[in-house]
Structure 1
Amino acid sequence: MGRLSALFDPETVAVVGATDREGAVGRAIFENLRGEFQGEVVPINPSRDEVLGLECYPDVSSAPPIDLAVVVVPPDIVLEAIRDIADGGIQNVVVITAGFSETGGEGAERERRLREIADEYDLNVVGPNSLGIMSTPIDMNATFGPEDATEGSISFMSQSGAFITAVLDWANEQGIGFQDVVSLGNKTVLDETDFVREWGDDPDTDVIIGYLEGIDDGNEFIETARGVTDDTPIVLVKAGRTDAGAQAASSHTGAIAGSERAYETGLEQAGVIRANSVQELFDYARALSGLPAPDRDGVAVVTNAGGPGVLTTDAVGDSRLRMADFTDGTIDALTEAMPEEANVYNPIDAIGDADVERFGEALEIALEDPNVGSAVVVSAPTAVLQYDELAETVIEKREAHDKPVVTSLMGGQRARAAEEVLREFGIPNYFDPARAVAGLDALARYREIRERTVDDPTAFDVDRERAREIVARATRRDDNRLGVESMDLLEAYGIPTPAGEIVDDPDRGREVAEGIEGDVVMKIVSPDISHKSDIGGVKVGVAEEDVYDAYEDLVARAHNYQPDATILGVQIQEMVDLEVATETIVGMNRDPQFGPLLLFGLGGIFVEILEDTSVRVAPIGEDEARGMVDEIRAAPLLRGARGREPADIEGVIETIQRLSQLVTDFPAILELDINPLVAGPDGVQAIDLRLTVDTEEL
């Protein structure tokens, strides 16, 4: 265990604010601790001589040595209590008291000062505004909830205390047990990443689950979770899905890659299995805590009922799993063992008069098949079948073959005794066969997480000082938006751009065009005009002799469209042959929690219409960049579909990595679009650029 181990294994717990007053939170916590806790409970309250028969101390300095302090005093004296605790040498604190940042104003200032004290004394603080914490191995319930947790191997954290109380009430009825339970509260000091790290080091925690409304530091969470999930699966419900972040963004990337998408890709990169409901959260956790991951995706279904067997087959088809193709030997063995009326092709229907012995034979033969990685036993109750006996048979076969098996013993009272037997051996039972398949699907997902490799980001040789000067230009103008006038930024990071120049008079435009072979492209350059093509602000295939007139026309169109627009000039650019190339977009939107969120997809004018994009949290290496390219639906266009010559995919992948390095190096870049990044057979070129800069970060 790590530095937080004393939180979950204290010998002495002080309740600062303990009281015997009926209905008080301080009494509820004190009574919960006194109930079963294996250590000593010490009440602290200067207004009491004793609490519920125990000697009460005025402060922690006059009390016996304390390992953990639970603070439940009025908000205006919390800081005084915390400093007294810190002066007493106590490192671990749970602050139950509310009235901090969740109330704004004075509460937010109080929370800031609490953080300062915690930093000064290096305190481990849970909360404030927390329900409390639990640790079942020592029977510690340091919460004011009405339920104790049953002991198990799942460690559970939640930003909602009410969610914990509801879950514990339900979980106790379901026989689901926990190792540790933490109500995160306001996460002033300790947050989800700290507990993922702690429980990842805990040999008694088999699965980490959580209900989160936000993640404070997405990059740190990803890095930490990636290491933990090598040995311990993490399953989270993330609440508060919103498009508000996308609505507030101004770039293509920002509009498409909003807050919810940041969480989606961030959790995926972290190796977290995301549940969409409370039911899924615990369905996944039950399978992951008791069963090994399958070594292959083939599933065998054994049932005594045709309808439920079909439902199970449909559920497998909707998952990442597949129905196993039985070998000829398996078919022959099943044909010999089953009645003539039975179906021996997956799903195996042992028919309605199947007894335990027939179920066992079918399951044994299926698990012996090398194409089977896991199995679902689905049964409807009949007069010839005893569920408790079937449970014993399932346990025997699962352990003999070391393959995951889940059950759907459908029914009520008949199934309960069997569920208890199965639970002791880590086999979950689900009334709905689709939920049983979802449990196996979570196991397969976890296998993929453990098998994947994540390479380190490539450190390219770049001109960082040149890039810094270009980004800093924003401080010298009223507008924090930069455009094609900053194309040198891409060149500083090795991203190819076409030959050309921005000019502020038509004569210079003609001179630049003379130095470029063939016709040119001309674009108005203005930070106030985002969609240049919509106003006729782009001219393609302009001959050298027409450059002067084209310049005048572009400027006039811009002024007519927006008279007060700032016109920086006209870009004269080498033409790129789009007949043999594909327009893509590479961009970045800086998410408040996860930082730089990279985007890749089909570009040009179609990016927001088709939304064929992939995203990753930067920094990324080659494997993640390649995955971004492979994920979009239009990837066959880049590979040369319908007779097209393949694009330089390696150049695209390198450009994504170089952009990842750029936006990681410069936190001041809030949004950035390279649209289009033209990918042709002979390489890639960034044609257009837009970025938004936080001038205060420069």
Structure 2
Amino acid sequence: MGRLSSLFTPERVAVIGATERPGSVGRALVENLQADFGGEIVPVNPNCETVCGLDCVDHVGETDADLAVVAVPAAVAVDVVREAGEAGIDDVVVITAGFGETGGEGADRERDLEAVAEEYDLNLVGPNCLGIISTPVGLNATFAPRSAPSGSVSFLSQSGAFVTAVLDWAADHGVGFKDVVSLGNKAVLDETDFVESWGDDEGTDVIVGYLESIEDGRRFVDVAGEVTRETPVVVVKSGRTEAGAQAASSHTGAMAGRDRAYEAGLRQAGVIRADTVQDLFDAARVLAGQPVPETDGVAVVTNAGGPGVMATDAVGDGPLSLAKFGNDTVSRLRDRLPEGANVYNPVDAIGDADNERLRAAVDTVLADDAVGSAVVIAAPTATLDFVQLAADVADLQADHGLPVTTCLMGGERAREADDTLVEAGIPNYFDPARAVGSLGTLERYRAIRERERREPTTYDVDREAAQAVLDRARERGTTRLGVEAMSLLDAYGIPTPAGEVVDSPVDALEVAEDVGEPVVMKIVSPDILHKSDIGGVKVGVDHADVYDAFEDLVARARNYQPDATILGVQVQEMVETESGVETIVGTNRDPQFGPLILFGLGGIFVEVMEDTAVRIAPLAEADAREMTEEIQAAPLLSGARGRDPVDRDAVAETLCRLSQLVTDFPEILELDVNPLVVRPDGAVAVDLRLTIEL
């Protein structure tokens, strides 16, 4: 497990702040450790001689401990951690609250704690946490009311209360844990550290977590992207409705809000995101207990037609497909099932089926090459023994080596069969949709595990020219740029229309004569973001009208905002759009994940339709291609109503070039190319808006 392995395998644990006082955290920690820990427990409290029958010492330096668990008042906690570091203890869990979560003095105290941890190179969990558990060594260094059942799931949580609830629930639902960590404030160790460590841990088959934030999104994506090739990671991320883009000035910033960043980051990392706690542990159970399927074909076997139809509907809602049986399978099912039974998928062995009939049906479908997994659904009848059915399904699953879930739709009868199914690692549900959904989780993980390794796509670009554009903006003290910065795109190989920004009608006509007739003219002002809203754009201007158009655009801008900075008017060749589709490409820099790249339907409808795809930069070409395929308007790109398909390769290249640009220049906070007109013969960036950091 790398550098964190010692955290979960101590031989001697010091509890600093241990006390005899009933109901105290210090006492609960000692009692929980005494329950199963095979190593030595040393209470540290200068005011007590013994705690829970164990001799106390005055200072942590007297303990020779491997792990220090700190439960002293916040005012002295940092000094105690320093003592632990001076004593040569590498692993520290700070239970104590009163740090960054309280602000002010607490935040200062947390910074001091971080400094001490860095000075002594400590593996420090917390502060403000419940503690840690490791079942292989019987370590329960928490103040939770119960420990964890043993298993192969390692669990991290940003909420200590969530941990206590899960531990209480898990004992009754067949979920066992290897390690459990309450992250607390994550002053030193965070979710990425534990994902990385558990990814190397042979005892961890599945990593699950509850997260409210990710400290370093880019590092998390990189680390989890490697871990998920071998070990599945499933998380619940709270805060889906956070209004994180309220202050954004660009279309991209408004639409690529905080949760879109997490969604994109988790997806690129290969992390499965669960919507609910139930989904989280449904995923944990099936990933820990069942093999990964080799195909997406699922077989449904039931003694009840209605639930079989429900399962079939659920298959259509997820990544699975209903397996099409081979002729031999259909023939064998006809031989083994009575007349009136459905021998095609879903297999209905009809309501009078006994155990022998259902076993034969399950055995037959699991032998079919088109079947990658199966769900067995049964309603209670007088002819069926659920306990025997559970034993049969467990045997057949082991014989065929394919993943199976069950849906035993009953009360007491189903509960009597649970022990057999839990021992075999087969999840059982009352709802057919959940049984199918769990198999869908396995299929999603199969796709994650088999995904190709993607390296960012890069191009030869003129970085110096791009730097010059940004330097000129800094010299002017300008943070918002528009079409006057189109050369930024040119420097990175993103096609733009011919044209220039001019400051007089005479120059406007000269440029118009160079680029052809008619032209597009736009007011250029960093203070006017939505030019079309004030009539600041004129399309199809003939040469004879250029003078008047120039004067009118400037007048409109002055009337709209008298104090606006007017840099001039852009005169631009008119881009033919009839054969193309107006799209948007853009970026918004997220505090945790860095630049997000956005693609979607563009033009004036971009924020109305909100049909966009988002990824974390830097992009590989395959990422960019996926973005063009997943928006709802994708059929428009493929050609609709007789129109020719547009150049998707040009879109993907533009996205990758934009990704390279904003990766190279972190001072670019937001950027919109809207519209990027995509035609059968390429793509061209018609308009630009960006915000930079001075």
**TM-score higher than 0.5:** yes
Map 1:393-472 onto structure 2 (within 5 A): 393-472=392-471
Deviation of 1:472 after TM superposition, in Å, equals 3.0
Deviation of 1:479 after TM superposition, in Å, equals 4.0
Q: Distance in 2 between matches of 1:326 and 1:683?
A: 45
Quote the residue 1:73 is aligned against.
72
Quote the residue 1:168 is aligned against.
167
Deviation of 1:478 after TM superposition, in Å, equals 4.5
Residue 641 of structure 1 aligns to a residue in which SS?
A: coil
Q: Distance in 2 between matches of 1:606 and 1:74?
A: 57
Q: Distance in 2 between matches of 1:16 and 1:206?
A: 33
Deviation of 1:179 after TM superposition, in Å, equals 0.3
Q: Which sections of structure 2, spanning at least 5 residues, go unmatched?
A: none
Map 1:363-402 onto structure 2 (within 5 A): 363-402=362-401
Q: Distance in 1 between matches of 2:269 and 2:288?
A: 19
Map 1:252-263 onto structure 2 (within 5 A): 252-263=251-262
**When the two structures are superposed, what TM-score results if normalisation uses the length of structure 1?**
0.97
- Specify the code of the residue in structure 1 equivalent to 2:459: F
Deviation of 1:315 after TM superposition, in Å, equals 1.6
Residue 14 of structure 2 aligns to a residue in which SS?
A: strand
Q: Deviations over 1:265-317 (max 9, x none)?
A: 11111111111111111111111101111111221111112222222222222
- Specify the code of the residue in structure 1 equivalent to 2:79: E
Quote the residue 2:60 is aligned against.
60
Quote the residue 1:10 is aligned against.
10
- Specify the code of the residue in structure 1 equivalent to 2:388: E
Q: Deviations over 1:20-42 (max 9, x none)?
A: 11121111101111111011111
Quote the residue 1:224 is aligned against.
223
Q: Deviations over 1:663-683 (max 9, x none)?
A: 111111111001111222332
- Specify the code of the residue in structure 2 equivalent to 1:640: G
Quote the residue 1:610 is aligned against.
609
Q: Is the 1:196–1:228 contact (alpha carbons within 8 Å) kept by the matching residues of 2? A: yes
Quote the residue 2:314 is aligned against.
315
Q: Is the 1:454–1:624 contact (alpha carbons within 8 Å) kept by the matching residues of 2? A: no
Q: Is the 1:454–1:623 contact (alpha carbons within 8 Å) kept by the matching residues of 2? A: no
Deviation of 1:402 after TM superposition, in Å, equals 1.2
Deviation of 1:246 after TM superposition, in Å, equals 2.1
Quote the residue 1:205 is aligned against.
204
Quote the residue 1:332 is aligned against.
331
Q: Deviations over 1:41-70 (max 9, x none)?
A: 11111222222222211112222x211110
- Specify the code of the residue in structure 2 equivalent to 1:530: L
Q: Is the 1:454–1:621 contact (alpha carbons within 8 Å) kept by the matching residues of 2? A: no
Map 1:178-197 onto structure 2 (within 5 A): 178-197=177-196
Which region of structure 1 is more displaced relative to structure 2, 443-452 or 44-53?
44-53
Residue 3 of structure 1 aligns to a residue in which SS?
A: helix
Map 1:472-621 onto structure 2 (within 5 A): 472-621=471-620
Residue 245 of structure 1 aligns to a residue in which SS?
A: coil
1:38 maps onto 2:23 in alignment: no
Q: Distance in 1 between matches of 2:104 and 2:43?
A: 32
Residue 589 of structure 1 aligns to a residue in which SS?
A: strand
Quote the residue 2:118 is aligned against.
119
Q: Is the 1:626–1:653 contact (alpha carbons within 8 Å) kept by the matching residues of 2? A: yes
Which region of structure 1 is more displaced relative to structure 2, 143-152 or 559-568?
559-568
Deviation of 1:186 after TM superposition, in Å, equals 0.4
Q: Is the 1:675–1:688 contact (alpha carbons within 8 Å) kept by the matching residues of 2? A: yes
Q: Is the 1:153–1:204 contact (alpha carbons within 8 Å) kept by the matching residues of 2? A: yes
Q: Distance in 1 between matches of 2:515 and 2:272?
A: 53
Q: Distance in 2 between matches of 1:290 and 1:224?
A: 25
User: What is the identity percentage for the equivalent residue pairs of Structure 1 and Structure 2?
Assistant: 65
Q: Distance in 2 between matches of 1:374 and 1:175?
A: 21
Q: Distance in 1 between matches of 2:357 and 2:644?
A: 59
Q: Is the 2:520–2:541 contact (alpha carbons within 8 Å) kept by the matching residues of 1? A: yes
Q: Distance in 2 between matches of 1:391 and 1:578?
A: 63
Residue 28 of structure 1 aligns to a residue in which SS?
A: helix
Q: Distance in 2 between matches of 1:454 and 1:548?
A: 55
Paired residues in the alignment total 694
Quote the residue 1:214 is aligned against.
213
Residue 462 of structure 1 aligns to a residue in which SS?
A: coil
Deviation of 1:248 after TM superposition, in Å, equals 2.0
Quote the residue 1:23 is aligned against.
23
Deviation of 1:595 after TM superposition, in Å, equals 1.2
Quote the residue 2:638 is aligned against.
639
Q: Distance in 1 between matches of 2:635 and 2:312?
A: 31
Q: CA-atom RMSD, angstroms?
A: 1.3
Map 1:73-92 onto structure 2 (within 5 A): 73-92=72-91
- Specify the code of the residue in structure 1 equivalent to 2:693: D
Which region of structure 1 is more displaced relative to structure 2, 148-157 or 351-360?
351-360
Quote the residue 1:47 is aligned against.
47
Q: Distance in 2 between matches of 1:275 and 1:582?
A: 35
Map 1:281-300 onto structure 2 (within 5 A): 281-300=280-299
Q: Is the 1:678–1:687 contact (alpha carbons within 8 Å) kept by the matching residues of 2? A: yes
Q: Distance in 2 between matches of 1:47 and 1:241?
A: 48
- Specify the code of the residue in structure 1 equivalent to 2:395: E
Q: Is the 2:46–2:59 contact (alpha carbons within 8 Å) kept by the matching residues of 1? A: yes
Deviation of 1:386 after TM superposition, in Å, equals 1.6
Q: Is the 1:4–1:198 contact (alpha carbons within 8 Å) kept by the matching residues of 2? A: yes
Which region of structure 1 is more displaced relative to structure 2, 505-514 or 462-471?
462-471
Q: Deviations over 1:74-94 (max 9, x none)?
A: 001011001111111111110
1:361 maps onto 2:364 in alignment: no
Q: Distance in 1 between matches of 2:515 and 2:314?
A: 60
Q: Distance in 1 between matches of 2:593 and 2:188?
A: 18
Q: Distance in 1 between matches of 2:239 and 2:80?
A: 34
Residue 416 of structure 2 aligns to a residue in which SS?
A: helix
Map 1:623-662 onto structure 2 (within 5 A): 623-662=622-661
- Specify the code of the residue in structure 2 equivalent to 1:691: L
Residue 380 of structure 2 aligns to a residue in which SS?
A: coil
Residue 324 of structure 2 aligns to a residue in which SS?
A: coil
Q: Deviations over 1:302-334 (max 9, x none)?
A: 111222222222222222212222222222211
Q: Is the 1:91–1:122 contact (alpha carbons within 8 Å) kept by the matching residues of 2? A: yes
**When the two structures are superposed, what TM-score results if normalisation uses the length of structure 2?**
0.98
Q: Deviations over 1:397-455 (max 9, x none)?
A: 11121111111112222122321111112111112111111110100000011111142
- Specify the code of the residue in structure 1 equivalent to 2:171: N
Q: Distance in 1 between matches of 2:515 and 2:175?
A: 72
Q: Distance in 2 between matches of 1:337 and 1:636?
A: 46
Q: Deviations over 1:451-478 (max 9, x none)?
A: 1114211222122232223223343334
Q: Distance in 2 between matches of 1:42 and 1:628?
A: 56
Q: Distance in 2 between matches of 1:296 and 1:555?
A: 63
Cα distance change, pair 243–145 in 1 and its aligned pair in 2 (3 A): closer
Q: Is the 1:197–1:225 contact (alpha carbons within 8 Å) kept by the matching residues of 2? A: yes
- Specify the code of the residue in structure 2 equivalent to 1:668: E
Residue 172 of structure 2 aligns to a residue in which SS?
A: helix
- Specify the code of the residue in structure 2 equivalent to 1:16: I
Q: Is the 2:250–2:672 contact (alpha carbons within 8 Å) kept by the matching residues of 1? A: yes
Quote the residue 1:110 is aligned against.
109
Cα distance change, pair 187–547 in 1 and its aligned pair in 2 (3 A): same
Q: Distance in 1 between matches of 2:619 and 2:59?
A: 51
Residue 515 of structure 1 aligns to a residue in which SS?
A: helix
- Structure 1 runs of 4+ off > 4 angstroms? none
Cα distance change, pair 243–160 in 1 and its aligned pair in 2 (3 A): closer
Q: Distance in 2 between matches of 1:640 and 1:316?
A: 30
Q: Deviations over 1:140-195 (max 9, x none)?
A: 10000001111000000001100110111111112311000000000111111001
- Specify the code of the residue in structure 2 equivalent to 1:169: D
Residue 288 of structure 2 aligns to a residue in which SS?
A: helix
Which region of structure 1 is more displaced relative to structure 2, 384-393 or 157-166?
384-393
Quote the residue 2:136 is aligned against.
137
Q: Is the 2:458–2:656 contact (alpha carbons within 8 Å) kept by the matching residues of 1? A: no
